[in-house]
A and B are shown apart, each in its own frame.
Chain A
Amino acid sequence: MSQTLYQKIYQSHVVGQLNASTDLLYVDRHLIHEVTSPQAFAGLKQANRPVRRPDLTYATMDHNVSTQRRSMDAAGETSRKQLEALAENCDEHRIPLLDLTHPDQGIVHVIGPELGLTQPGMIIVCGDSHTSTHGAFGALSFGIGTSEVEHVLATQTLPQQAAKTLNIVIDGELSAHVTPKDIIMAVIGQLGTAGGNGYVAEFSGSAIRGMSMEGRMTLCNMSIEMGAKAGLIAPDDTTIAYLKDKPHAPSAEHWDAAVAYWRSLHSDADASFDKTVQIDASRIKPQVSWGTSPEQVIAVDQPIPAANDFTESSKQDAARRAYEYMGVQAGQKLTDLTVDVVFIGSCTNSRIEDLRAAAKVVQGKQVASGVRALIVPGSGQVKRQAEAEGLADIFKTAGFEWREPGCSMCLGMNDDRVDSGQRCASTSNRNFEGRQGRGSRTHLVSPSMAAAAAIAGRFVDITTGEWA
């Protein structure tokens, strides 16, 4: 019987049945960080349970860490305690930890792929919703809560029910200056933030095949913003080339067998999906979110929609609330909005390709006066690479702050925050009320759009005029 990629991975991980509707699935990689794990370890201790497979568990410090100094003390008192708890728990259970002294420390969804921990066909979980990122490799990857973190630590398994399947077919050539970030934002704008609820979304089509691993990660990263349980992209030559020689990739002894297995990981030609959506990539323009939900998004050359443009009353109400919170009006042009802060970073857009795109826009220019602009590389590796390529110098010369790796201003758990009423062009993934700080006004954009906003001091259409 023909199967989708999701169904193949799901079935190959069934350990047993818990009841008529629930299977127990084996977990190949469990990634943990400081925020969602301490209560899980406490639960294990209380029940006197060991960690079943510390060798399949990897930890990093990312959410709380200071991006100004590599010191746990720099994160503030309660964050320091949380970081220390992670270090103690990893030490006690012999779990590998990339702490602040490790050269490869970084955002969990940046370092997993970078180190080769993320591989096709795996099931990967982490107590973080953007675990969907790893789906770019054809690994079934999803975020879990702390009770589930405890469950995986104890059993290396997780109870699951089969999800519905969604095929998002993206064909066509991307226009100049249009990035995977713009594609996923346009998809979310079309499907809505609940459009993927109950589904695992597979991305396919010519635009995906032509996309780099970094781009695929950006795409899968934000599949959670449309409510999908996971995003998935079938592995191909691009995936295999990326993984070759990564520290945790299969050794030479197993490489050929692994590649042969990975090549079998695709949806069968006649597999049927519960739902299919077709997207023409060539029609997508640079996207900017205007409201407080990722679905409130438009192309940079479109006016902010009027409440009456929406048919559902709930969306009309949400638009009215968003105008007030964001300090914008229906009909307003995005290019008339000035920005106070620019943030280039996060598990969505902090990889080397993102920084290259931003540097290309910035080179030879200066950050507009009064704009605070931050570049927060996703990992130690990204940071070193960007410095070696001269990107860091381009940013610093232009007036950007060049920081240490961490989640930073995406969610402002550390001291990188946007002040109340300030407008931020951000390459992150959520524009919820207060996400970057109480009263902060977040506009989600691609790295090149964020870079251009930093230079111009307002949003610009990078497909036109001097920017094109």
Chain B
Amino acid sequence: MNPSIHTIFAGGLVCPLDKNNVDTDQIIPKQFLTSVSRDGFAEALFYDWRYLADGSPNPEFVLNAPQYQGASILLSRANFGCGSSREHAPWALQQYGFQVIIAESFADIFYNNCANNGMLLIALSKGNIDSLFNRCNEGPQQWHIDLKNQEIRFGNNAALGFSIDADIKQRLLSGLDFIGSSEQLAPKISDFEHSRKSNLPWLG
């Protein structure tokens, strides 16, 4: 698993992307999917929003604003990551520098893909998301994310709790090997294959 995992929860600068249904085609357009590598996707992130047709940065896109350079927490709205199963989407977000995404909800496949890359996704109610965007409207925000205690801290002792699946939390905190954990059940996999072969022999 990603070695940066234990550093992601210290906190950082927040970039507000005020949109619903941010889809994977926006997160990383198709022309960047022909790579056979896991690396090199940072420049591709939000490409069609981030760059104008002539290749120059789009000054109106929030990621290009000077005050959000170096952001590591992305704030967005409902159904973030909808669309395709391309893991290039979390790779691009992570390689750009985002370690935490906070939104009203996430598409299922995207959520799993992020967890498998050691990224923390926090889903909050619409009211809470509204209040976080309001904070961002007051000026650039530095937040601390405490996964262990499940809190977003804003300074001045203000904090907002969040819930997270216990299994995902454990995996993020311990950096468990995704495949290695399942391989511990290898004898059970073999048992399953034996009974499958005798009960449903046409399955091979």
- Complex: chain B residue closest to A35, CB-CB: B33
What 1/0 mask marks residues of chain B from 104 to 116 whose CB sits below 8 Å from any chain A CB? 0111110011001
- Complex: chain B residue closest to A160, CB-CB: B112
Query: Size band of the A side of the interface?
Result: 35 or more
CA separation between A353 and B62, bound complex, in Å? Answer: 46
Set of chain A residues within 8 Å of B202, measured between Cβ atoms? 119, 250-251, 254, 257-258
Evaluate whether A420 and B53 lie within 8 angstroms (CB atoms) in the complex, with A39-B38, A250-B202 already known.
yes
List B147-204 residues whose CB lies under 8 Å from chain A.
165-167, 170, 178-179, 181-183, 185-186, 188-189, 192-193, 196, 200-204
**B108 touching A147, Cβ below 8 Å:** no
Evaluate whether A56 and B34 lie within 8 angstroms (CB atoms) in the complex, with A24-B185, A26-B196, A434-B29 already known.
no
**A227 touching B108, Cβ below 8 Å:** yes
Of B4-12, B17-25, B66-74, the segment with at least 4 beta carbons within 8 Å of chain A is B17-25
Evaluate whether A56 and B189 lie within 8 angstroms (CB atoms) in the complex, with A144-B109, A413-B34 already known.
no
**B25 touching A143, Cβ below 8 Å:** no
Evaluate whether A155 and B179 lie within 8 angstroms (CB atoms) in the complex, with A39-B36, A144-B109 already known.
yes
CA separation between A280 and B113, bound complex, in Å? Answer: 36
User: Could you tell me how many residues of chain B have their Cβ less than 8 Å away from some Cβ of chain A?
Assistant: 56
Q: Does A55 contact B (CB under 8 A)?
A: yes
Q: Which of B21, B34, B201 sits near A193, CB closer than 8 Å?
A: B21
CA separation between A315 and B170, bound complex, in Å? Answer: 36
The number of A-B residue pairs with CB atoms under 8 Å apart is 184
Evaluate whether A20 and B84 lie within 8 angstroms (CB atoms) in the complex, with A42-B38, A197-B79 already known.
no
List A23-82 residues whose CB lies under 8 Å from chain B.
24, 26, 28, 35-36, 38-39, 42, 47, 49, 52, 55-56, 63-64, 76, 78-79, 81-82
Given contacts A26-B193, A434-B25, 10 further A-B contacts (CB under 8 A): A24-B188, A129-B83, A143-B84, A147-B117, A154-B179, A155-B183, A251-B202, A314-B77, A413-B30, A432-B25
Can you show 13 pairs from A to B with CB atoms below 8 A apart?
A21-B167, A128-B85, A131-B85, A143-B84, A145-B86, A161-B165, A194-B21, A229-B108, A254-B202, A258-B202, A293-B21, A293-B23, A433-B26
